[in-house]
Amino acid sequence: MKELYEKALAAAENAYAPYSGFKVGAAAELEDGTVITGNNQENAAFPMCMCAERVALGYAGANFPGLKIVRIAIATPSSDELITPCGACRQVLAETVKRQGTEIDVIMTSPSQVRHATVSELLPFSFALPK
């Protein structure tokens, strides 16, 4: 788990965050041990920004569609506070869980603490289209 945190922290260093200055990295471990990283990508049109988690999940889905995501770590060098996924990222994580049929361990970090939660714990009432 420490290795996953370190990869997320390293990914944050390459984030494009000229507007907020808040760099975030994510590292997702696939079921075969492959680790995918992502970082936040800001845009002057703020709704167009991509969070680190969604960048990593999108890359994993596009390049490793048959592999399940086991865990994802989120880290930032920009704060000493515990970092958690935003609401949009929680919804995308919930859709990923639904698609793959298994939970994902979300590892939220700060320099002094680590917290784990499943996606369902983070977003117990995720949006789904009516059947």
Residues annotated as catalytic are: 53
The answer to whether the beta carbons of residues 60 and 92 sit under 8 Å apart is no
CB 17 within 8 A of CB 42: yes
The dihedral built from the CA positions of residue 61, 65, 68 and 70, taken in this order, carries a sign that is negative
